[in-house]
Amino acid sequence: MQIHQLQPIHSSKNRKRVGRGGKKGTYSGKGGKGQTARAGRKLAPIIRELIKRYPKLKGYRRFVLENNSTVVNLDMLNKHFKDGEVVNPANLITKGIVHMIKGKVGEVKILGKGVLDKKLTIENCKVSETAKKAIEKAGGTVK
């Protein structure tokens, strides 16, 4: 008798192969370990608190509001506008200083960097304190 001729006494039984997909056995999707496999586990219904804790990302279900404001300095106004003109978001868009954001006119804030020596009228724009002083010093008005 050779070693390759040896046979077991009992009949062989096919082993249940788990995790192969379909109806092949328990946890065929290879799930089930982790918190649910541990003794003394407790799954608290705190899913809502977890979802509220996550940062809200771009795309679907975007909750964070965008800041659509654009900053314009006094030296840009001095360069692109003539004496006595009206400065508002529509005029800034036509002159190419400010661009539309998603088809809408955004909020414009005028800051006090640079020198203004023209008499301008500012409408529908936010203005910083230093810019307001410089505009009024040049003879312009802020509405």
The 10s digit of each residue's pLDDT in 38-65 is 888 777 666 777 777 777 766 665 554 5
The pLDDT value recorded for residue 29 is: 66
The pLDDT value recorded for residue 86 is: 92
CATH of domain 69-142: 3.100.10.10
Q: Where are the domains of the chain?
A: 69-142
Question: What backbone torsions phi and psi does residue 34 show, to the nearest 5 degrees?
Answer: 95, -140
**Looking at the DSSP assignment, which residues form a beta bridge with residue 86?**
121
Condensed to tens digits (0 to 9), the pLDDT of residues 20-44 reads 666 666 776 667 788 878 888 777 6
Condensed to tens digits (0 to 9), the pLDDT of residues 54-107 reads 777 666 655 545 677 888 999 999 889 989 899 999 899 998 888 887 788 888
Sign of CA dihedral 93, 94, 97, 102: positive
